[in-house]
Amino acid sequence: MMHRRRLLAAAAAATTLPLLPGVVRAALPAPKGRVVLTISGRIGIRNAGETAQFDMDMLAAMPQHSFSTKTPWYPGPRKFTGPLLRDVLAAAGAQGRTLRAIALNDYKVELPVEDASRYSVVLARLLDDKPMPVRDKGPLFIIYPFDADETLRSERYYSRSAWQLKVIEVE
């Protein structure tokens, strides 16, 4: 319980400061479970060498956001839940302009950090209120709220939605 409180306090402090160029100097606890996300590159907060690592409990302890949206990958609208990408980046003290998302199958895509500030991009850990298995685009999925803004319904933003996410490199 104390671990969760410290993480929430760090995440809350991180989200009150601008993502760029400021660096949040809050402590990020070490993951206790299996690491599902590693953030590297231009970050100011680390908990594993030169990286910030997160297990699923750490991501679940952050404020959660949900939305339902249509996507090109599912026949109908689906509900996605997880922390906002900007909150996860803030927890690692990200201070770059570009993110390189890398998936379990080594798919790589670049997206501007500005997307995380401009849109409510979620680092989804739940699909329709259930954990996402690897075979269904899990365990983590960068997903844009496509139905919230017509501009997002384009190949540009669809291609930035990385599923089976494992690493974010901040440049």
Taking residues 77-95, report their average pLDDT. 98
- Whole-model pTM: value is 0.85
pLDDT value of position 24: 42
Percent of the chain's residues with pLDDT above 90: 84
Q: Please state, in angstroms and rounded to a whole number, the distance separating the CA atoms of residues 59 and 63.
A: 9
Predicted confidence at residue 25, as pLDDT, reads: 53
> What is the 3-class SS of 127-144, one letter each residue?
ECCEECCHHHCCCCEEEC
Q: Angle at Cα 82 formed by Cα 77 and Cα 86, nearest 5°?
A: 110
Given strand 78-82, what is the order of strands in its sheet?
65-69, 78-82, 126-127, 130-131
**Domain boundaries of the chain, sorted by first residue:** 2-170
Identity at 40, one-letter amino acid code: S
What is the tens place of the pLDDT at every residue in 90-122?
999 999 999 999 999 999 999 999 999 999 999
| Distances 85 to 59, 118, 132, 135 between C-alpha atoms, Å | 10, 11, 17, 22
Looking at domain 2-170, its CATH class is alpha beta
pLDDT at 27: 87
Question: Which residues are registered as beta bridge partners of 130?
Answer: 127
- Tens digit of pLDDT for each residue in 33-74? 999 999 999 999 999 999 999 999 999 999 999 999 999 999
